Structure 1
Amino acid sequence: MTLDPWRLRLLTQFADRGTVRAVAAALSLSPSAVSQQLTVLEREARATLLDRHGRRLVLTPDGARLVEHAREILDRIDVAERDLAGRGAAPVGPVRIAAFSSALSALIIPALARLAAAHPLLEPSTVESEPHESVPALLRGECDLAVVAEVGDAPLPRGAPMVTVPLVTDRLVTVVSTDRAAPAGLAELAESPWVLDSASSYLSDLVLRRCRQAGFEPRVVARYRSFGMMLQHVEAGTAVTVLPELAIDPRYRVHTAVVEPVVRRSVSAALRAGSEPRPAVQVVVDALRRR
């Protein structure tokens, strides 16, 4: 018996998601069907790939080794299929991009607009996704490119099988309405109402950490996933906030000042490691770097 690529993909999904039930939900299968296919894969591999610990299945050492091989095999199959379909030399076909909000508006949408005329056969699709969501999605093969950000106290996962391409560095800025002066430091905003990104988001957690380091807990009166809504709230004079420079839309009349001490955020394009990116993916990365 030979190793079946579909069953290898199920095994990598199990490694990424942790349970048979999660794999079944992601692939619209029944848990019993997933279990049956993994059992067949064990027969194909002539090895025990999964072991039961209480009510949980976990990868055995052989299972973990096969996952590493499977990722390489599946990447090579993907490259081969696209090459045989005539997609090996030209930037054509789908490119799935996951990115956080300010990167979408400031980097990705302008880049895709520039690419549209030069590469009409390119088929980009985008989804808004925080780095803690987009990196696992990238490693699971659910997107081709993730635009991610990190600061010193919130680094990207180390040791993950991915490579990053630096794109831009920006800073955090305080944002207040035009009827007040931009503050010299965060502590000056301790008594103000705040509007923040959605709870547990990358930006919300970062701003909360910085406020606490400045000696106060911000009084949050509103939360939005949309930076436009946040800026509208500030423009109306009903709240203050902190945003990355990339998120500041000049259509809103607000005052900004760089947060002191300076908090620099590195924005990168993340790609799965192990093989050269397809031309369609590479041309998008190149466009982002030429911002």
Structure 2
Amino acid sequence: MLDPRKLHLLRELAQRGTIAAVAEAANFTPSAVSQQLSALEREAGLPLLERTGRTVSLTPAAHVLVTHAHAVLEELERATAALAALSDGPGGPLRIGAFPSATRVLLPRALAELAAGHPALEPMVSEIDPADVSAALRAGELDVALVHEYDFVPPVVDLGICAEPLFEEPMYLTDRPSIRDARDDPWIMSKPGTLCHTMAIRACQAAGFEPHVRHHVDDFDTVLAFAAAGQGVALVPGLAAQAPPPGVRLTPLPLSRRTLVAYRKGYGRHPAILAAVAAFRSAVTR
């Protein structure tokens, strides 16, 4: 019989690309991961990995097995959630990931509601870029997360992750009537590799120019402070634009950012996840 733990490692290899990356995520040594995958090959009765020097790639049989691994691991998550539903109520650690503006604006309200309604829960919050959330959820480092997606940027969740919409907010441009009018300005953007940076670059490209990026800043409060100091223009979402510094004009754009709640597939009916999603929605409404 195929071992689900080994299937998890194979799925991670399909997602992460290298045994070293899988080992780091699973807190194993690379040799231990290789041994587990070799054992899975014996269980499957077919070669799963093609080794070329120090690199590995998945065989056609491995790709077939990864497809079934998604279903197997999802069903195990569903079983875990069903067992948890038989308890008196959600309790224990609840590891929540969120991007900074949601952490600042939404999570204090949501955490207060969780504390009042489910005192046995122990929420534990970590700030994380949405691009890293899927891997953290699959690895069990997070139970639930708030992620966002922008126009010009595709969704960041993968086949093992479920994401349900939470709310949508407009995007604003500082101190210019349109992105095209800011073609000659210096720009303030998030660090390369983040969704915010990708969105801003692509928005400028859609307006017909490559932006001159002067500052790389992730915190939107700091971005607005830099804009107030005349250090450049920036795109900011509605959550970050509620109280701009004096002198900063914000122009609404026909662009939006959508926030979603993400969790492992099959895990959505877990009482702790249901409680968290309800608290997030209440915080948005309030």
TM-score above 0.5: yes
CA distance in 2, matches of 1:233, 1:139: 37
Gaps of 5+ in 2: none
CA contact (8 A) 2:47 2:59 kept: yes
Residue 243 of structure 1, CA deviation = 0.5
Q: Kindly tell me the number of residue pairs found equivalent between the two proteins.
A: 282
Deviation at 1:245, TM superposition (A): 1.0
How far the C-alpha of 1:170 sits from its partner, in A, is: 0.9
- Normalised to the residue count of structure 1, the TM-score between the two structures is 0.82
Partner of residue 280, structure 2:
288
Residues 192-227 of structure 1: per-residue CA shift (max 9 Å, x gap): 333221123211221222223334443332211211
Residue 205 of structure 2 is matched in structure 1 by 212
| Counterpart residue number, 1:146 | 145
**Alpha carbons of 1:81 and 1:163: their partners in 2 closer, same or farther (altered >3 Å)?**
closer
Q: Which residue of 2 aligns with 1:237?
A: 230
- TM-score, normalised by the number of residues in structure 2: 0.83
| In 2: Cα distance, 1:196 partner to 1:141 partner | 31
Cα pair distance change 1:241/1:67, threshold 3 Å? same
The question of whether the paired residues in 2 share the 8 Å contact of 1:16 and 1:140 is answered with no
Which residue does the alignment assign to 1:130?
Answer: 129
Aligned to 1:180: none
What do the CA deviations read for 1:129-151 (whole angstroms, capped 9, x no partner)? 23322134334444222322223
Cα distance, 1:122 vs. partner?
1.5
Over aligned residue pairs, what C-alpha RMSD do you find?
A: 2.9
Aligned 8 A contact 1:138 1:145 in 2: yes
Distance in structure 1 (CA, Å) of the matches to 2:184 and 2:2: 63
- Cα distance in structure 2, aligned partners of 1:60 and 1:163: 27
Q: Give the Cα–Cα distance (whole angstroms) in 1 for the partners of residues 232 and 267 of structure 2.
A: 47
**Percentage identity across aligned positions?**
37
TM-superposed CA distance for 1:104, in Å, is 2.2
Instruction: Determine helix, strand or coil for the equivalent of 2:172.
Output: strand
The change in CA–CA distance for 1:271 and 1:84 in structure 2 (over 3 A counts) is closer
8 Å CA contact retained: 2:152, 2:203? no
Work out which of the residue numbers 260, 266, 272 in structure 1 matches 2:264.
272
Measured against aligned partners, the alpha-carbon deviations of 1:239-271 in whole angstroms (never above 9, x if no partner) come to 321101111252633321112xx1122221123
- Structure 2: which amino acid aligns with 1:279? P
1:110 is aligned to 109
Counterparts of 1:49-198 in structure 2, within 5 Å, are 49-53=48-52, 55-77=54-76, 80=79, 88=87, 90-156=89-155, 160-176=159-175, 183-198=176-191
Distance in 2, Cα, partners of 1:203 & 1:120: 35
Asked whether the equivalents of residues 172 and 243 of structure 1 are also in contact (C-alpha less than 8 Å), the reply is yes
